[in-house]
Amino acid sequence: MKALQKELIIIGAGPIGMACAIEAKKKGIDYLVLEKGTLVNSIYNYPQNMTFFSTSDRLEIGEIPFISHNPKPTRAEALEYYRRVASAWELKINLYEGVTALEKRGEHFSIETDKNQYQCNNIVLSTGFYDLPYLLNIPGEELPKVTHYYKEPHPYFGMDIVVVGAANSAVDVALETYRKGAKSVTLVIREKEVGKNVKYWARPDIVNRIEEGSIKAYFNAELTAITPDKVSIRTAEGVVEMKNDFVLAMTGYQPNFSLMESLGVVFQEDEYKTPIYNPTTMEPSQKGVYLAGVVCGGLKTNKWFIENSRAHAAQIIEAITQA
């Protein structure tokens, strides 16, 4: 199969990948976006009733207004908005086409997907972090009752559920399943308290529900084993075994480090495995490779968001045109 030639390949069709495509189109660069899932796949995988922390204007790209019916936009409104952006700009995006291999060959990059082969001069990695969850690495994690993603509360009506985590996702899941009729909701939290960075309107709610006993919480604790009908929890007082129907492991997610490593990206020797890059051009040590969005923070996934990484698109395209 003959490789298709492009000046720029953008991997990831999230808001920042789309912003890069818009800037490339403005400059007349021959680009293509490759996305292994659907458009803005990470947002699509958010819980159905999720509300953004930011206002809609801070999520805008491509000079297209994002009008929300609420003070803070919902997942459904965001999906509608980014569909509208992709259509208005007629962005060249290949959906459901995952990258299987890529490497530097001389002055060019060779990219293989599950559908095609490409050759390009420049690559933007804007893959986000939502596709690779942190695993519990305990017996029983592979059981069908365990999930690292949450969509809606209905399947958990009348069920005994365990929620693992102390950040926004875990708190949202615990509160919603409790209010929508779960038989029992138990939080398993490694830390001594609910996360300080939890949304300001949700943290008092979860704390109050725990204090009144509506939601059970084990602090300084961790899940150690899962079976079809129960779980084991290590606590300061010893191991607790309890009846259980579902485990929702809201343990966070991580960037695709293997993809970055295959392109020669070098990382800082810190706890976050932060990529080393030029903050002006967003270019790491490998010439022609650019990082955009959440991937720039490594494991520190609370540093970069749509709001503060939209600027990466203009920086990258300016660097490409000046190279």
CATH at 73 = 3.50.50.60
Residue 323 has pLDDT above 80, yes or no: no
SS3 174: helix
**Least trusted range by pLDDT, from 112-121, 154-163, 177-186, 190-199:** 190-199
- If asked whether residues 173 and 279 sit together in one domain, one would say no
Q: Residue 132 class from Cβ within 10 Å (0-12 exposed, 13-18 middle, 19+ buried)?
A: middle
Q: List the Cα angle 89/5/113 in 5-degree steps.
A: 85
What is the average pLDDT across 268-285? Answer: 93
- What six digits make up the tokens of 128? 């986000």
Q: How many domains does the chain have?
A: 2
Residue 131 has pLDDT above 80, yes or no: no
Whether the Cβ atoms of residue 217 and residue 187 lie closer than 8 Å to each other: yes
What is the average pLDDT across 243-268? Answer: 92
Choose one of 224, 249, 274: the last residue of a domain: 249
**Least trusted range by pLDDT, from 21-35, 136-150, 256-270:** 256-270
- Residue 72, pLDDT score: 92
Whether the Cβ atoms of residue 196 and residue 171 lie closer than 8 Å to each other: no
- If asked whether residues 125 and 269 sit together in one domain, one would say yes
- If asked whether residues 268 and 296 sit together in one domain, one would say yes
**How many CB atoms sit inside 10 A of residue 192's CB?**
9
What is the average pLDDT across 43-52? Answer: 88
**Residue 232: C-alpha distances to residues 111, 221, 247 (Å):** 45, 10, 11
Residue 71 has pLDDT above 80, yes or no: yes
- If asked whether residues 168 and 27 sit together in one domain, one would say no
- If asked whether residues 86 and 159 sit together in one domain, one would say no
- If asked whether residues 178 and 111 sit together in one domain, one would say no
Predicted TM-score (pTM) of the model is: 0.86
Q: How far apart are CA 180 and CA 161, in angstroms?
A: 12
Termini Cα distance of the chain? 30
Q: Residue 218 class from Cβ within 10 Å (0-12 exposed, 13-18 middle, 19+ buried)?
A: buried
In terms of residue numbers, what domain contains 187? 135-249
| Helix/strand/coil percentages in the chain, nearest 5 | 25, 25, 45
Instruction: Tell me which residue has tokens 């796949």.
Output: 41
- Residue 256, pLDDT score: 87
Choose one of 249, 267, 282: the last residue of a domain: 249
Q: How far apart are CA 129 and CA 123, in angstroms?
A: 18
Q: What percent of the chain has pLDDT over 90?
A: 81
**Residue 301: C-alpha distances to residues 150, 205, 274 (Å):** 19, 24, 10
- If asked whether residues 181 and 224 sit together in one domain, one would say yes
What is the average pLDDT across 37-56? Answer: 91
